[in-house]
Amino acid sequence: MTSTVDSEPQALVLPKWLQTCLLEEQAGSDTAEQSLICRAFNFAFHLHEGQYRASGDPYIAHPVAVAELLNDLGGSASMICAGFLHDIVEDTTVTPDQLEDTFGAEVRQLVEGVTKISKFNFSTKTEREAENFRKMFLAMARDVRVIVIKLADRLHNMRTLEHLSKEKQRRIAMETRDVFAPLANRLGIWRFKWELEDLSFKYLEPEVYRSIQSLVSEKRTTREALITEAVNRLTARLDPLGLKHLEVTGRPKHLYSIYKKMVRQQKEFHEIYDISAIRVIVGSNDECYRVLAIVHDLFRPIPGRFKDYIGLPKPNRYQSLHTTVIGLGGKPLEVQIRTLEMHHVAEYGIAAHWKYKEQGNASAHPWSPEDEKFTWLRQLLEWQSDLNDVSDDAQEYLDSVKDDLYGTEVYVFSPKGDLVPLAKGATPVDFAYRIHTEVGNHCYGAKVNGRMVTLNTGLKNGDIVEIMTQKSAHPSLDWLNFVTSTLARNRIRQWYKRSRREENIQRGRDLLEKELGKTGFDALLKSDTMHQVAEQCNYASPDDLLAGLGYGETTLNLVVNRLRELNRQPQSSDPLTQKTEESSQFSLFQQASSSGRGSAPSAGQDTPIAGVEGLVYNLAKCCHPLPGEPIIGVVTLSSRGISIHRQGCSNVESVPGDRLIPVSWNPQSETQGHRQTYPVNIQIEVLDRVGILNDILSRLKDLHINVNNAQVLTKRGQPALITLGLDIEHLNQLDRTFTQIRKMTDVLNLRRLHHSETTSS
């Protein structure tokens, strides 16, 4: 394919490095890597020809800008090619196979990875957002370069965001601030991180952004004069040291970092003094500490404002000495001291591996699963499986991911001197589970700096933590009230769930036996039918199914319906058939009653119950039937008229057939303005923690469910029992309510109560 450098649109200005590459290709003096890059540009140029962005610029300007950002990061030829081609699969008719035939498997893998991530929409429903996170981290695990390309793509889109609608601006800016800027920080790419944050700030808080921008601009002259004077004084003190490499520069802080400081410290702009900083770059670690001594001799240090990130690097491998001193004019001044290599890592993060490589191998894969700088990513992937084991709560997963994306703030040591990063506020229990699940499960005490402490003690930077274990020890439910990490919280729940397996199996067995009857029940559990039901419900065995039923992971209705579907087959001889035939007596009763009374239920009348028109009736308090449930009428022996029961109610089993009448819910009553609620009592068994009742009530509020009564029974060290009285309109509404409550990780069991149970409790 011939070069198109001479046929580019007038509006498109190619960067110099690309112009050089294309000219060398034309002259036949290009390298294999340059040839690949030129072919990718020409390929993208022709395929995007005639396409335009919202700004009116030719679309190819965007891939060129993305490729330029990747080139600045020192990306390999394959990465730069993927930058040119990242929208090809999505916006043209080119297939991944064609891409591979033309540019190779590596480029295809990168383009496909970016294409999949580009389809993610993080501002949608919680469940979809959680699934998108899972997919994105899996893509990163396969090749972290995929997310670097996506960050370059997002940065250029943010730079041109003014051409989109206000609604799209806010959605994309929020997604950038909450997801992509923290990812850039986690990868250590500071030059991407700060610009993504400032651009997001510009569109999410436009008035505040303009205000701070204006205030910074107004004070610039005075501030720059003070910074210049401080730089000159420090340089004069450092020059005589004969350092091999020395750079002393002043830099303004970014607008979003100023805004965050104002919010965090609850101060006005004029109360924030350290909005500029001095950066000193030297040649070695030893020189960093020598410079620090000079800084503290020249300026008075502020106590508690020194951080040594050289000895204790951040998880993203950032290293530097930070100190805040009283500068000229009595204003606080931040000074950062680092080596040239540390500066490259701070600016380029993981990409420093490509841009400043010792061996010159630009195409080397930048990540292996054992690389320490990706510990946080491996943990996220591990926690995905942990969360799937104990919860389907998408919100909990999102909270755990976002907490980890925003970084750790406490660094402690094991007795052997291993550095362990933890979240701010972490306790010895968080530390124990971070070391190993079994260490956490058998923890009974802890020492911090050689002294015994309680397990809820908050850890501080530099603490040496020792965990004491014994085989008989096990997690306590009280731990859930103070652990801060999702890892610890989920593994405590996981242990509790598994340790109660036998109890859960027995509870599930009791529920199923009560529904199906005792006759032949043991044979049913051992039958092939029961194994098939377990598989259909995604369980490995009937015992697992019973445990899930007892734990509340699956519903009794689902299990019974699966059984009945399988028993409709003619060859089935399971005991359930007998029970099904017994339960079908209600339909026989309906036929007999209908022929004897000559009044079939009518759905056209303006009453909630069809079949009792003109008669006195009441809803039975023993079973509290709901619209949507099969019901039966019972002629009472008193003067209360017809009592409406749920089909299958134990109080109806002994009623003679001549007292039963066929009834049903009238579907038209709701459409005619007769919407009403019906009382339902439920019991929830939960892990006892602070705020659990409030969390449940919040979910009910979101579902527009009124709670007319609430009782909580607690016993130290045991699950709590919460009994709620609800006002429900229809069975479907109750099912939705049960589904939402069961999604809560702390919920162990959930069931609907009968009248006898509510009165006895």
Reported confidence tier of residue 508, pLDDT bands at 50, 70, 90: confident
Joined together, the tokens standing for residue 54 give 């919202």
Looking at mean pLDDT, say which of 173-182, 197-206, 398-407, 493-502 comes out highest: 197-206
Predicted TM-score (pTM) of the model is: 0.57
Q: What is the pLDDT of residue 380?
A: 55
Range in 343-357, 372-386, 459-473, 523-537 with the lowest mean pLDDT: 372-386
Q: What is the pLDDT of residue 724?
A: 93
Identify the CA nearest to 292 among candidates 270, 323, 319: 323
Q: Which of 91, 101, 162, 247 is catalytic?
A: 91
Reported confidence tier of residue 321, pLDDT bands at 50, 70, 90: very high
Range in 297-306, 319-328, 495-504, 622-631 with the lowest mean pLDDT: 495-504
Which DSSP helix (H) or strand (E) runs through 66?
A: helix 61-72
Question: Letter for the amino acid at 78?
Answer: S
Q: Rounded mean pLDDT of 574-594?
A: 38
Which DSSP helix (H) or strand (E) runs through 734?
A: helix 731-742
Q: Rounded mean pLDDT of 616-639?
A: 81
Q: Rounded mean pLDDT of 451-478?
A: 89
Q: Rounded mean pLDDT of 171-177?
A: 88
Reported confidence tier of residue 602, pLDDT bands at 50, 70, 90: very low
**Catalytic status, residue 91:** yes
Mean pLDDT of the chain: 78
Instruction: Could you list the beta-strand ranges (E) of 569-668.
Output: 609-610, 617-619, 631-635, 642-646, 660-662, 664-665
Task: Output the DSSP codes for 427-478.
Answer: -HHHHHHHH-HHHHHTEEEEEETTEEE-TTPPP-TT-BEEEEE-TT----GG
Give the HSE-up count for residue 461: Cα atoms under 13 Å, Cβ half-sphere: 12
Q: Name every residue whose Cβ is closer than 8 Å to that of residue 207 and which is 6 or more positions away in sequence.
A: none
Q: What is the pLDDT of residue 201?
A: 93
Q: CA of 96: how far to CAs of 85, 104, 298, in Å?
A: 11, 10, 61
Q: Which of 8, 25, 49, 90 is catalytic?
A: 90
| 15 neighbors 25 (Cβ within 8 angstroms) | no
Q: Rounded mean pLDDT of 253-267?
A: 82
Residue with the bigger pLDDT between 374 and 205: it is 205
**High-pLDDT (> 70) share of the chain, %:** 78
Q: Name every residue whose Cβ is closer than 8 Å to that of residue 651 and which is 6 or more positions away in sequence.
A: 620, 622, 623, 645
Residue with the bigger pLDDT between 355 and 575: it is 355
**Catalytic status, residue 68:** no
Range in 59-73, 306-320, 339-353, 558-572 with the lowest mean pLDDT: 558-572
Q: Residue 101: is it exposed, middle or buried by C-beta count within 10 angstroms (0-12/13-18/19+)?
A: exposed
- Ramachandran region, residue 624 (left: φ > 0; alpha: ψ -120 to 50; beta: rest): left
**High-pLDDT (> 90) share of the chain, %:** 19
Reported confidence tier of residue 5, pLDDT bands at 50, 70, 90: very low
Q: Name every residue whose Cβ is closer than 8 Å to that of residue 451 and which is 6 or more positions away in sequence.
A: none
Identify the CA nearest to 98 among candidates 31, 153, 149, 43: 43
Q: What is the pLDDT of residue 83?
A: 93
Q: Rounded mean pLDDT of 327-335?
A: 83
Range in 229-238, 532-541, 593-602 with the lowest mean pLDDT: 593-602
Range in 249-258, 383-392, 452-461, 485-494 with the lowest mean pLDDT: 383-392
Q: What is the pLDDT of residue 236?
A: 93
Question: Letter for the amino acid at 389?
Answer: D
Q: Find how far residue 99's CA is from the centre of its chain.
A: 33
Q: What is the pLDDT of residue 599?
A: 35
The 3-state DSSP class for residue 736 equals helix
